[in-house]
Amino acid sequence: MHQMDERYYQLLQELQAIDFVLVELNLYLDTHPEDVNAIQQYNQCVQERWKIAQEFEACYGPLQHFGHSYSSAPWQWDNTPWPWQV
């Protein structure tokens, strides 16, 4: 098990915040598909989320399973708590 430090919780909070923004932008773009500024903002947020998730996974292990995140050896899904448990 990894020691959960302040950065662990900070990265999870950043992921939750950017995921919220992405869901809201996605819903907005469903009804405003021609809004280029919103599309650019969405794409910037996707890039930022990827960076945050990559940093989290490099330090603390995978965020998602079934092929959405890599695992190093040994198998990292044994490491708890999982992000959705905190």
Kindly report, residue by residue over 21-72, the tens digit of the pLDDT: 999 999 999 999 999 999 999 999 999 999 999 999 999 888 876 655 555 5
pLDDT band for 1, please (50, 70, 90 cuts): very low
Q: What is the pLDDT of residue 76?
A: 60
Secondary structure of 23-56 in HEC code, one letter for each residue: HHHHHHHHHCCCCHHHHHHHHHHHHHHHHHHHHH
pLDDT band for 3, please (50, 70, 90 cuts): low
What is the pTM (predicted TM-score) of this model? 0.74
